[in-house]
Structure 1
Amino acid sequence: MFFLSDMLNKKLKIPTAEEALPGRASPIPTATHHFVSKRPLAGPYPEGLENALFGMGCFWGAERMFWQTEGIWVTAVGYAGGTTPNPTYQETCTGLTGHAEVVLVVFDPKIISYSDLLKLFWENHDPTQGMRQGNDVGTTYRSVIYTFGDEQLAAAKASRDAYQASLDAAGRGRITTEIAPAPDFYFAEEDHQQYLAKNPFGYCNLRGTGVSCPAPQAASAG
């Protein structure tokens, strides 16, 4: 019983650099192209496109939501926000890498704005749950927004504050989402890329709060 409790506590706490798994110097093998769109996962991406990085719990359902959205050029799942270099899925699930499961979204800002992506992010998971998302428990399932540049960072924080006001009005809890400049992103293994396109009846834990998000207006004003 003590062993199970100890393991759970480790999964709910970001490990220090000394506690984290060592990882490896070389990237783990992954797919070269998107299973649905056939576009290159790691680029090169067409000029004028922008990147976004979101963690919403299990990355399978989150990635499907984004690749099905108009204006998204390509998506990929991976790991970010931890210490272990080039982690595997199994390592990340232990909670000893510090990484969150995230989705890299490459989008065309002429078709869909970053504020629109933020609205999708807030409304399609519960950002108040801390180190979990529904029945998925651990640091790897925490809610995160990793930003590229000062404009995205300001927009993300403005959208968080706007959504918190909506959650407060609905009697919901406080947002626990981590918002920070984008750290290193490590592509997940090939079988995790576009998982729900390969396994249409596979596990998807994507659930929103039912509270509408006014973030696009607030974010664009910032």
Structure 2
Amino acid sequence: MMHKLMAEAVGTAFLLVGVVGSGIMAANLSPDNTGVALLANAIATGCILYVIITLLGPISGAHFNPAVTVTFLIRGEIAVRPAAAYIAVQIAAGILGVWAAHLMFDLPVLQVSTTLRTGSGQWFSEILASFGLVFVILGGIRHTPQAVPTLVALYITGAYWFTSSTSFANPAVTIARSLSDTFAGILPGNMPMFILMQLIGAGLALLVARHLFQAETAG
């Protein structure tokens, strides 16, 4: 169990280093071109996701996301106590990853985001983003488990662009990004609705995937 928790910690921390660090670098290099900055941010996030899922998936399952952990808890693939430990580690490690990114760029370690991300469009966007992420994971496990790192990396890279919220799709990431007043930040007051929408999206994906894949097996 300690190895699994360590894998979740390392993976989630590096995920946030990738998200926030690339956001800072992108904003520094392209301060007047948000599109280029978002492209760089998306590519870097997709790359780090592929790496950490490939390396750490065999150890912990590479959740790195409380919504994913809750999904597998409902599916009966992880017990309550380990799931709670996973989630606690994901949140703590995500915050440490944000602080590490700040240190790399000589920024104040302790920050609170002032970036407004709210409204019905972005809330619905988080439902779709999280639905898609969980559906991709479950579909990948069902059909081509070895392709899951590629599928998740490609999905998130694309979802940065086709969702209005830039696809947070992860409660631990959302909490951590509220502590970074940088390109990737989110105002803490906007965080609860994002997390609620993410859990709703994950739940819907679980329902649809269960019905679809069971029907496929039966057929």
What TM-score results when the alignment is normalised by the length of structure 2? 0.30
Q: Where is the strand percentage greater, Structure 1 or Structure 2?
A: 1
